[in-house]
Structure 1
Amino acid sequence: MGLLSQGSPLNWEETKKHADHIRKHGIIQFVNIYNKVKDRQKDVLKWGDEVEYMLVELDDKDEKVRIVLNGGEVLETLQEQGENINPNHPTLWRPEYGSYMIEGTPGQPYGGTMSEFNTVEGNMGKRRREASAVLSRNETLCTITAFPRLGCPGFTKPEFPPTPVEKGVSKSLFFPDEAINRHPRFSTLTRNIRHRRGEKVVINVPIFKDKCTPSPFVEVFPEDDGEAERAALPDHIYMDAMGFGMGNCCLQVTFQACSIDEARYLYDQLATFCPIVMALSAASPFYRGYVSDNDCRWGVISASVDDRTQEERGLKPLKNNKYRIFKSRYDSIDSYLSHCSEKYNDIDLTIDEEINKQLLSAGIDKLLAQHIAHLFIRDPLSVFEEKIHLDDENESDHFENLQSTNWQTMRFKPPPPNSDIGWRVEFRPMEVQLTDFENAAYVVFVVLLTRVILSYKLDFVIPLSKVDENMKVAQRRNAVQEGMFYFRNDIFKGCNASVDGNAFAQNGLESDGANEEYTLMSIDTIVNGKEGVFQGLIPILNSYLENMEVDVDTRCTILNYLKLIKKRASGELMTMAKWMREFVSTHPQYKQDSVITDKINYDFFTKCDRIAKGEEQCPELIGNPVNKFK
Structure 2
Amino acid sequence: MGLLAQGSPLSWEETKRHADHVRRHGILQFLHIYHAVKDRHKDVLKWGDEVEYMLVSFDHENKKVQLVLSGEEVLETLQEKGERSNPNHPTLWRPEYGSYMIEGTPGQPYGGTMSEFNTVEDNMRKRRKEATSLLEENQALCTITSFPRLGCPGFTLPEYKPNPVEGGASKSLFFPDEAINKHPRFSTLTRNIRHRRGEKVVINVPIFKDKNTPSPFIEAFPEDEEAARASKPDHIYLDAMGFGMGNCCLQVTFQACSISEARYLYDQLATICPIVMALSAASPFYRGHVSDIDCRWGVISASVDDRTREERGLEPLKNNSYRISKSRYDSIDSYLSKCGEKYNDIDLTIDKEIYEQLRREGIDHLLAQHVAHLFIRDPLTLFEEKIHLDDANESDHFEVQLTDFENSAYVVFVVLLTRVILSYKLDFLIPLSKVDENMKVAQKRDAVLRGLFYFRKDICKAGGNAVVDSCGKAQSSPELAQEEYTLMSIDTIINGKEGVFPGLIPILNSYLENMEVDVDTRCSILNYLKLIKKRASGELMTVARWMREFVANHPDYKQDSLITDEMNYSLMMKCNQIATELCECPELLGSSFRKVKYSGNKTDSSSN
Give the deviation of 1:5 after TM superposition. Answer: 1.3
What code does the residue aligned with 2:581 have?
G
What code does the residue aligned with 1:56 have?
V
What code does the residue aligned with 1:352 have?
D
In structure 1, distance between residues paired with 2:569 and 2:220: 26
Structural mapping, 1:354-369, within 5 Å? 354-369=353-368
Give the deviation of 1:497 after TM superposition. Answer: 6.0
Residue 61 of structure 2 is aligned to residue 65 of structure 1: no
In structure 2, distance between residues paired with 1:552 and 1:592: 49
Residue 576 of structure 2 is aligned to residue 576 of structure 1: no
Residue 513 of structure 2 is aligned to residue 546 of structure 1: yes
Q: Is the Cα–Cα contact under 8 Å of residues 54 and 100 in structure 1 kept in the other structure?
A: yes
Structural mapping, 1:210-289, within 5 Å? 210-221=210-221, 224-289=223-288
What code does the residue aligned with 2:298 have?
G
- What's 1:406 paired with? none
With structure 1 as the length reference, what TM-score do the two structures score?
0.91
Residue 420 of structure 2 is aligned to residue 452 of structure 1: yes
In structure 2, distance between residues paired with 1:276 and 1:497: 26
- What's 1:425 paired with? none
What code does the residue aligned with 1:380 have?
P
Gaps of 5+ in 1: 398-427, 500-512
Give the deviation of 1:495 after TM superposition. Answer: 5.9
- What's 2:184 paired with? 184
- What's 1:537 paired with? 504
Cα deviations across residues 77-134 of structure 1 (Å, max 9, x unaligned)? 0000000000000000000000000000000000011010000000000000000000
- What's 2:75 paired with? 75
In structure 1, distance between residues paired with 2:75 and 2:368: 38
1:472 aligned to which of 418, 426, 440: 440
In structure 1, distance between residues paired with 2:353 and 2:67: 46
With structure 2 as the length reference, what TM-score do the two structures score?
0.95
- What's 1:566 paired with? 533
In structure 1, distance between residues paired with 2:510 and 2:438: 27
Q: Is the Cα–Cα contact under 8 Å of residues 9 and 381 in structure 2 kept in the other structure?
A: yes
Structural mapping, 1:41-440, within 5 Å? 41-221=41-221, 224-397=223-396, 428=397, 430-440=398-408
Q: Is the Cα–Cα contact under 8 Å of residues 92 and 105 in structure 1 kept in the other structure?
A: yes
CA distance 1:437–1:287, change in 2 (3 Å): same
In structure 2, distance between residues paired with 1:3 and 1:170: 23
CA distance 1:132–1:627, change in 2 (3 Å): farther
Cα deviations across residues 489-529 of structure 1 (Å, max 9, x unaligned)? 00011265679xxxxxxxxxxxxx99810000000000000
Cα deviations across residues 403-437 of structure 1 (Å, max 9, x unaligned)? xxxxxxxxxxxxxxxxxxxxxxxxx3x00000000
What code does the residue aligned with 1:26 have?
G
Structural mapping, 1:598-609, within 5 Å? 598-609=565-576
Q: Is the Cα–Cα contact under 8 Å of residues 290 and 595 in structure 1 kept in the other structure?
A: yes
Give the deviation of 1:167 after TM superposition. Answer: 1.2
Give the deviation of 1:626 after TM superposition. Answer: 3.0
Q: Is the Cα–Cα contact under 8 Å of residues 530 and 592 in structure 2 kept in the other structure?
A: no
Q: Secondary structure at the match of 2:48?
A: strand
In structure 1, distance between residues paired with 2:443 and 2:176: 27
Cα deviations across residues 243-272 of structure 1 (Å, max 9, x unaligned)? 000000000000110100000000000000
Q: Is the Cα–Cα contact under 8 Å of residues 242 and 305 in structure 1 kept in the other structure?
A: yes
What code does the residue aligned with 1:254 have?
T
In structure 1, distance between residues paired with 2:340 and 2:327: 24
Q: Secondary structure at the match of 1:603?
A: helix
Q: 571-580 or 514-523, which moves further after superposition?
A: 514-523
Q: Is the Cα–Cα contact under 8 Å of residues 97 and 242 in structure 2 kept in the other structure?
A: yes
Q: Is the Cα–Cα contact under 8 Å of residues 149 and 287 in structure 2 kept in the other structure?
A: yes
Q: Is the Cα–Cα contact under 8 Å of residues 458 and 496 in structure 1 kept in the other structure?
A: no
Q: Provide the identity percentage.
A: 80
Q: Secondary structure at the match of 1:330?
A: coil
Give the deviation of 1:240 after TM superposition. Answer: 0.2
- What's 2:25 paired with? 25
In structure 1, distance between residues paired with 2:382 and 2:294: 35
- What's 1:593 paired with? 560
What code does the residue aligned with 1:560 have?
N
In structure 1, distance between residues paired with 2:499 and 2:78: 53
Give the deviation of 1:487 after TM superposition. Answer: 0.1
Q: Is the Cα–Cα contact under 8 Å of residues 405 and 593 in structure 2 kept in the other structure?
A: no
In structure 2, distance between residues paired with 1:330 and 1:498: 29
In structure 1, distance between residues paired with 2:566 and 2:63: 6
What code does the residue aligned with 1:597 have?
T
Residue 583 of structure 2 is aligned to residue 616 of structure 1: yes
CA distance 1:18–1:373, change in 2 (3 Å): same
Q: Is the Cα–Cα contact under 8 Å of residues 456 and 497 in structure 1 kept in the other structure?
A: no
Q: Is the Cα–Cα contact under 8 Å of residues 489 and 514 in structure 1 kept in the other structure?
A: no
Q: Secondary structure at the match of 1:253?
A: strand
In structure 1, distance between residues paired with 2:442 and 2:236: 19
Residue 461 of structure 2 is aligned to residue 493 of structure 1: yes
In structure 2, distance between residues paired with 1:136 and 1:280: 34
RMSD: 1.3
Give the deviation of 1:340 after TM superposition. Answer: 1.3
In structure 2, distance between residues paired with 1:603 and 1:23: 50
- What's 1:509 paired with? none
In structure 2, distance between residues paired with 1:183 and 1:355: 33
Q: Is the Cα–Cα contact under 8 Å of residues 302 and 329 in structure 1 kept in the other structure?
A: yes
Which consecutive aligned stretches of 4+ in structure 1 deviate over 3 angstroms post-superposition?
495-499
Q: Secondary structure at the match of 1:331?
A: coil
Give the deviation of 1:225 after TM superposition. Answer: 2.4
In structure 2, distance between residues paired with 1:152 and 1:498: 51
Give the deviation of 1:4 after TM superposition. Answer: 1.6
Q: Is the Cα–Cα contact under 8 Å of residues 50 and 251 in structure 1 kept in the other structure?
A: yes
Gaps of 5+ in 2: 468-479, 596-608
In structure 1, distance between residues paired with 2:463 and 2:20: 39
Q: Is the Cα–Cα contact under 8 Å of residues 458 and 497 in structure 1 kept in the other structure?
A: no
CA distance 1:527–1:384, change in 2 (3 Å): same
